Structure 1
């Protein structure tokens, strides 16, 4: 009888240590939009959230220690295109009372921090988003031109460590070796305080030249250094956000975003006003508005509007002055 009890206890302990789970989730987002006068009407994917699928898992190793993995792929719902599986993150790690450490391709901590301090998490009409490559500031990069710099959405070969929460305070450190002789390494530190309705954040990071080279492998592109400060407060009837960035890429450039999100019975209304000083001492100003109408917990309709006082010339990849551009779009988003 004693042997039976011991064997049963051993079996139960083994089962407890082996507890694990794997989840499959994601979202599909599609909109129809017109990004400016003279521009064609387009179907666009990812204007309320990314279209993506995610496979994630966690295993309880016992004693508060857990192993986890994460693979997320962003795709274009209108064309089905994806550059690669895991393009939005593919890492493995451990977590416990010490915090969490992950190794692989993951979001840049300074970009992840900024998401919490922008209205609608940077999304909106294509070309008007808050966080992007930076208007007039990164001529070597194409993509979604944002008023504020994203600092690089994801980082390859990155090791991140996140501390536990100490009475609202937490921090994340990111490091990625360049893996190229003579090129500097990526490094970033973010600190945040979140307690009740108040959130405050500080972040500083570098994105080395090797990560911002264009196809011509230009050698005069300097290391990118960026610092940011964020403040958010939830008043109940509305949540206000503020994000300031000091961008030292090419030339010192200051940018900020003021945002507000107002919950309503059927969804939410959001607005954002952004401004950025360009390299030639001019500035660009962007106003965005949006509305989300929730049909269920997983499905919502949305409308986006954006206007800026300068335009982006795609063929030359430069800003043109004194030419206001207005865009709008309507879409549907479903999460699973």
Structure 2
């Protein structure tokens, strides 16, 4: 995997590679660019993908693309996604859209979602609405509500409740509880 990261810090007398803790940073702009590829597997498969993310002053936007062939005899699956977010301070709004096109099964899925996250006590409450539009079968709609309680800067306890409905079927509900630590 190739990963290129550009960090532009607007500050006094700080070098690009080493930031002096006494520097007063006025702005932090980050741009991430990543790309990956794999060599053919023993059965002739291959995968290639790329993604880019830009974040600045509470605004974020990202795009990703991947094409995969699992073997020399199967057709490709192509996936693309576009996402954006804006942090207003009192709330963070986000949205994403994507498409999965599986040429082997001739299935195509369009995936869309919108969400909101708000600070609440020592954590964040969140809500998300998503829809999966299946070109060859029933559509799926999902609503998720949850809360992350931060124990430290890198560790949180979270819960999430989800209600899902598939057209023509009854709805289902699920609940998740977990502990997450970021390295």
Q: What range describes the TM-score normalised by the shorter chain of this pair? A: 0.7 to 0.9
Match of 1:130 in 2: none
Match of 2:21 in 1: none
Match of 1:175 in 2: 37
CA contact (8 A) 2:6 2:30 kept: no
Deviation of 1:197 after TM superposition, in Å, equals 0.6
Match of 2:46 in 1: 185
Deviation of 1:220 after TM superposition, in Å, equals 7.0
Q: Deviations over 1:127-180 (max 9, x none)?
A: xxxxxxxxxxxxxxxxxxxxxxxxxxxxxxxx3232534764432111111232
Equivalent of 1:280 in 136, 151, 165 = 136
* Counterparts of residues 10-49 of structure 1 (less than 5 Å): none
Match of 2:81 in 1: 228
Point out the structure with max Rg over C-alpha.
1
Whole-angstrom CA distance in 2 between matches of 1:163 and 1:268: 28
Find the residue that maps to 1:309 and give its secondary structure: strand
Match of 2:173 in 1: 326
Match of 2:4 in 1: 162
Aligned residues: 160
Whole-angstrom CA distance in 2 between matches of 1:297 and 1:170: 22
Relative contact order higher in (CA < 8 Å, ≥ 6 apart):
1
Deviation of 1:331 after TM superposition, in Å, equals 4.3
Please report the TM-score for the alignment, with normalisation by the length of structure 1. 0.42
CA contact (8 A) 2:46 2:70 kept: no
Equivalent of 2:61 in 170, 176, 200 = 200
Change in 2 beyond 3 A, CA 1:170/1:298: closer
Deviation of 1:240 after TM superposition, in Å, equals 1.2
Unaligned segments of structure 1, at least 5 residues: 1-158, 211-218, 311-319
1:308 to 2:164 alignment: yes
Judging by fraction of residues, say which structure has more helix. Answer: 1
Find the residue that maps to 1:308 and give its secondary structure: strand
Change in 2 beyond 3 A, CA 1:230/1:331: closer
Deviation of 1:323 after TM superposition, in Å, equals 1.1
Whole-angstrom CA distance in 1 between matches of 2:177 and 2:137: 35
Q: Deviations over 1:62-121 (max 9, x none)?
A: xxxxxxxxxxxxxxxxxxxxxxxxxxxxxxxxxxxxxxxxxxxxxxxxxxxxxxxxxxxx
Change in 2 beyond 3 A, CA 1:252/1:290: same
Judging by fraction of residues, say which structure has more strand. Answer: 2
Change in 2 beyond 3 A, CA 1:331/1:252: closer
Find the residue that maps to 2:107 and give its secondary structure: coil
Match of 2:14 in 1: none
Task: Note the aligned Cα RMSD (angstroms).
Answer: 2.7
Whole-angstrom CA distance in 2 between matches of 1:227 and 1:238: 27
* Counterparts of residues 43-122 of structure 1 (less than 5 Å): none
Deviation of 1:279 after TM superposition, in Å, equals 4.0
Please report the TM-score for the alignment, with normalisation by the length of structure 2. 0.74
